[in-house]
Amino acid sequence: MWLFRWKGASGFSAYSTAEDVTRGIDGTALTAIVTGASSGIGLETARVLALRGVHVVMAVRNVDVGRNVKETLLQERNDAKIDVLELDLSSMASVRKFASEFQSSNLPLNILINNAGVMATPFMLSLDNIELQFATNHLGHFLLTNLLLDIMKRTARESKREGRIVNLSSEGHRIAYREGIRFDQINDESGYFSWFAYGQSKLANILHANELARRLKEEGVEITANSLHPGSIIMTNLMRHHGLINAVGQTIGKYFLKSIPQGAATTCYVALHPQVRGISGEYFMDSNISQPSIQGKDEDLAKRLWDFSLTLTNTRLANFQQSSFPSVAM
């Protein structure tokens, strides 16, 4: 049972579920991509969006698991519109392939939910030789967003409806490395600390949304970009690298921690609720606007991260090249 039930300005609280915050909302004219939609918060987000009539594209690493999840969701609403596409955010080639396949589908795109992630892993490199948490949690989503942005702009223009980009961050962004983003030491194994690296990637999620919001406002595009903290230590498979914490959480967590339906609430609120219309560049928690750390508000840091990420992902070229890593220590 979640102990903290007081409501914020939105009328919702930490106790609210994803179904609570979307009750009465008709999403039948909308299409959404949800990354990491085969488990945890991503699955619950996809379920509730589909329940509200949204056409959901599940972006998942394991397509077979994704298809099984789809069949389960269709049992709840047999007319739900759900597609499953493969996406491995730790691989830029996979991100590009996903974006190309989605573009070929000729579907519109109203909502992009950058949900998938890994938490506090041992030091590992992605398929593109970048520290895994930074690569998966931030860079993969940064590239995906950039590749899909033109589709979202066209959808917003043609539908005359606001597009929404939602980045799942975490209060863990407050325990990043001292400098926030270690631009010159992303791949430094000797100075690696798993929780600081996780915080760094979650800080990057906030900074990405903030800088994207600034650019979209400047361009006059009717698309918002926001970040959020889903809730205090929700017991999902993110904790699989921490056996003791996971075991304790599964045993007593139900009495003190958010459930997955509660954890998905803020995501669904920011993605669908009319109260959020026109709000961009904000950080949400418990389905209310909150405040990130000082680094999470740093405009210069956000701009520097944008340029750094653009260099790493090499989004201006059709193919990824290793030569786009001038400042990454290998």
Q: Read off the pLDDT of residues 87-97 as tens digits, 9 standing for 90 and up.
A: 999 999 999 99
Segment 54-73 mean pLDDT:
98
Q: Are 84 and 70 in contact (CB under 8 A)?
A: yes
Q: Where are the domains of the chain?
A: 20-312
Confidence of residue 314 (pLDDT cuts 50, 70, 90): confident
Confidence of residue 41 (pLDDT cuts 50, 70, 90): very high
d(CA 324, CA 326): 6
Whether residue 291 has pLDDT greater than 70: yes
Segment 268-277 mean pLDDT:
98
Strand pairing category for 283-285 and 223-229: parallel
Segment 155-176 mean pLDDT:
98
Q: What is the pLDDT of residues 215-239, one digit of tens each?
A: 999 999 999 999 999 997 555 455 4
Active site residues: 192
pLDDT, position 321: 37
d(CA 13, CA 286): 5
d(CA 289, CA 286): 8
Confidence of residue 4 (pLDDT cuts 50, 70, 90): low
In DSSP terms, which residues pair with 229 in a beta bridge? Answer: 285
d(CA 240, CA 174): 22
Q: Lowest mean pLDDT: which of 43-52, 168-177, 254-263, 303-312?
A: 254-263
Angle at alpha carbon of residue 201, lines to 199 and 204, rounded to 5° = 110
d(CA 208, CA 88): 19
Mean confidence (pLDDT) of the chain: 90
Whether residue 124 has pLDDT greater than 80: yes
Residue 218 has φ and ψ, to the nearest 5°, of: -60, -35
d(CA 7, CA 5): 6
Half-sphere exposure of 218 (CA within 13 A, CB side): 6
Angle at alpha carbon of residue 47, lines to 67 and 260, rounded to 5° = 110
Residue with tokens 């926001």: 226
Whether residue 82 has pLDDT greater than 80: yes
Taking alpha carbons only, the member of 293, 321, 268 closest to residue 42 is: 268
Q: Are 270 and 164 in contact (CB under 8 A)?
A: yes
- The H or E element spanning position 271 is helix 265-272
Taking alpha carbons only, the member of 207, 226, 205, 240 closest to residue 118 is: 240
Confidence of residue 295 (pLDDT cuts 50, 70, 90): very high
pLDDT above 70: percentage of residues in the chain: 86
Q: What is the pLDDT of residues 172-220, one digit of tens each?
A: 999 999 999 999 999 999 999 999 999 999 999 999 999 999 999 999 9
Please enumerate in sequence order all residues whose Cβ is within 8 A of that of 228, keeping only pairs 6 or more positions apart, or say none: 166, 167, 168, 169, 266, 267, 270, 283, 284, 285
pLDDT, position 257: 83
Q: What is the pLDDT of residues 42-63, one digit of tens each?
A: 999 999 999 999 999 999 999 9
Segment 98-124 mean pLDDT:
98
Whether residue 330 has pLDDT greater than 70: no
Whether residue 292 has pLDDT greater than 70: yes
Confidence of residue 241 (pLDDT cuts 50, 70, 90): very low
Taking alpha carbons only, the member of 186, 149, 181, 185 closest to residue 165 is: 149
d(CA 227, CA 202): 10
Structure tokens given for 209: 């949304």
Residue 155 gets the label, from left (phi > 0), alpha (psi -120 to 50) or beta, of alpha
pLDDT, position 228: 98
pLDDT, position 320: 33
**How far, in Å, are 197, 238, 287 from residue 235 at the CA level?**
20, 8, 19
* Domain 20-312: which CATH number of 1.20.1370.10, 3.40.50.720, 3.10.129.10, 3.30.1330.10: 3.40.50.720
